Amino acid sequence: MVKNLIVVSQIKSIAKIEDQPLNVSSDFYEALNEKVKIIIEKACKRAKLNSRTTVMGKDV
């Protein structure tokens, strides 16, 4: 498993519908963490393809 790339408390603070907090299951955090990892890896590849060593917002 990859190191946590997300902050659980921050996810909990925004997991709401009309200001009503929602419960968040642990598998949600795991799935979100994996998605973030994939996004970062793709952004790194795009930066490299564009001959850059800096990952930028436009790489997302």
Task: Report CA 32 to chain centroid distance, whole Å.
Answer: 6
Sequential pLDDT tens for the chain (60 residues) = 568 899 999 999 999 999 999 999 999 999 999 999 999 999 999 999 999 999 999 999
How many domains would you assign to the chain? 1
pLDDT of residue 1: 53
Distance (Å, whole) CA 56 – CA 59: 5
CA 56 → CA 2, 8, 25, 45, 49, distances in Å? 22, 24, 31, 11, 13
Give the residue numbers spanning the domain of 45. 26-60
In a domain, residue 4? The reply is: no
In a domain, residue 57? The reply is: yes
Task: Report CA 29 to chain centroid distance, whole Å.
Answer: 10
In a domain, residue 16? The reply is: no
Distance (Å, whole) CA 42 – CA 2: 16
Token pair of 9 as six digits? 């408390």
In a domain, residue 17? The reply is: no
